[in-house]
Amino acid sequence: MPDETLTRRQFLALSGLAATALALPDWARAAADAARPSGKTVVVVLQRGAMDGLNVVVPFRDPFYRKARPTIGLAAPGRPGGVLDLDGTFGLHPALADLLPLYKEGRLAFVQAAGSPDGTRSHFDAQDYMESGTPGVKTTEDGWLDRAMLARRAARDPLAAVAIAPRLPLMMRGRFPVAAFTRVEELRGVPLEGSFEALYDGAVDALLSGAARDLGETRRALAGLPKAGPDAHLALGYPRESPGRDLFELARVLKAGLGTRVGFVEVGGWDHHFDEGAAEGRLARALKGLGRSLAAFHKDLGSRAQDVVLLTMTEFGRTLAENGNRGTDHGHASVMMALGGKVKGGRVWGRWPGLDPAQLYQDRDLAVTTDFRRVAGEALKTHLGLASLAPVFPGGTWEPLGLL
């Protein structure tokens, strides 16, 4: 009679055997399932470059919207190139059609007029403020996701905090150890022994920065994941373009049940000063990749999707009026998305300030009425179980929207 007690490391080894098509006996499969740690996860997708939220969740009935955007404004539902009706007031950009079923099923919500209260129009400063969680304060050296893990007193498992990124993002810098990599296979291929230069060239520099990272433990934790070729994500419906491959890599880790509590993915290409387009164009192409990636990620997670809340955010929005190059310039408020978990989807959240000139921020931009920390804080408290947001977002009180 075999010993039916499995350690996590033994379970990972068994997972690796399963990947090579060796069948497990019933007792081992049951023990392996029990060895998977349960728990909730918050994933942040940071859209670097400042996405034009007004052409994503579109106030298609607003006369000020149409007047300000004669060439890049999207048409009403039912018209050629028109938006997908969400609630009779707002419409979804047609390039995000892959997300509409999730919205209708109540799994996806939008938060309009959301963003940072700081009015900077600098990409660098605004991204730093959104990642540090302290808008207007340039001296913060750690990130709010890292502080959340410290506040939660999360177990310091090798993959408790994961960033699918070429370098450790500010949002996850701090005293809690974070695994940062772009491809599981790339990390697994780095030799455990060798010079610092060899490790650096192996793209694991982020693992070695900040708090001490145990590369060996991280590699051993990933050892049981089934191997995936360079195009494996395409078979699961992920697009080739970003962030499809990155979300596929994160989903691999989450499905393995390795104790990941926070995850991070970034996607650039949102700074559309020219040729932004309406139903088609540069913004549409970026949105199509994002929409397909998010839909595939949610499907790929399967039943695990109930334990994962994904938030999207961007450093600021764009001006209401289009510019002379058929694009938009740096603005203020944009739109956030919340997907999965127990998100109260199927609606557009947030107080809509309107686009009347008297309601605009500095006479040109959609005003911020929902601080991004309010949305992020609700995910951390309601989903991840933080008792208090004070250590994560100092200097304020963040009442939940009721989004979760």
Mean pLDDT of the chain: 87
Residue 172 to residue 145: CA distance in whole angstroms: 5
Question: How much is the pLDDT for 37?
Answer: 42
- The arithmetic mean of pLDDT across residues 314-340, rounded, is 98
Question: Exposed (0-12), middle (13-18) or buried (19+): which is 355, by Cβ within 10 Å?
Answer: buried
Question: How much is the pLDDT for 214?
Answer: 63
ω into 400 cis (within 30 of 0): no
Residues near 26 by beta carbon (within 8 Å), at least 6 away in sequence: none
High-pLDDT (> 90) share of the chain, %: 76
Weakest mean pLDDT among 8-17, 227-236, 286-295? 8-17
Q: Is residue 383 a contact partner of residue 148, using CB atoms and an 8 Å limit?
A: no
Weakest mean pLDDT among 130-144, 198-212, 278-292? 198-212
| pLDDT confidence tier of residue 219, bands split at 50, 70 and 90 | confident
- The arithmetic mean of pLDDT across residues 83-105, rounded, is 98
Question: Exposure pattern of 139-175 as b/e (b: 16+ CB <10 Å)?
Answer: ebebbbbbbbbebbebeebbbbbbbbbeebbbbbbbe
Residue 375 to residue 392: CA distance in whole angstroms: 13
How does DSSP assign 345-401, residue by residue?
-SSEES------GGGSBTTTBPPP-EEHHHHHHHIIIIIT--S-STTTSTTS-----
High-pLDDT (> 70) share of the chain, %: 84
Domains defined along the chain, listed by start = 1-36 (no CATH), 41-383 (3.40.720)
Above 60 in pLDDT, residue 27? no
Rg (CA), the chain: 22
Question: How much is the pLDDT for 132?
Answer: 98
Weakest mean pLDDT among 38-47, 69-78, 199-208? 199-208
Above 70 in pLDDT, residue 187? yes
Question: How much is the pLDDT for 200?
Answer: 44
Helix (H) or strand (E) holding 45: strand 41-47
| pLDDT confidence tier of residue 189, bands split at 50, 70 and 90 | low
Q: Is residue 346 a contact partner of residue 106, using CB atoms and an 8 Å limit?
A: yes
Question: How much is the pLDDT for 221?
Answer: 85
pTM of the shown model: 0.86
- What's the order of all strands across the beta sheet hosting 57-58? 57-58, 91-92, 84-85
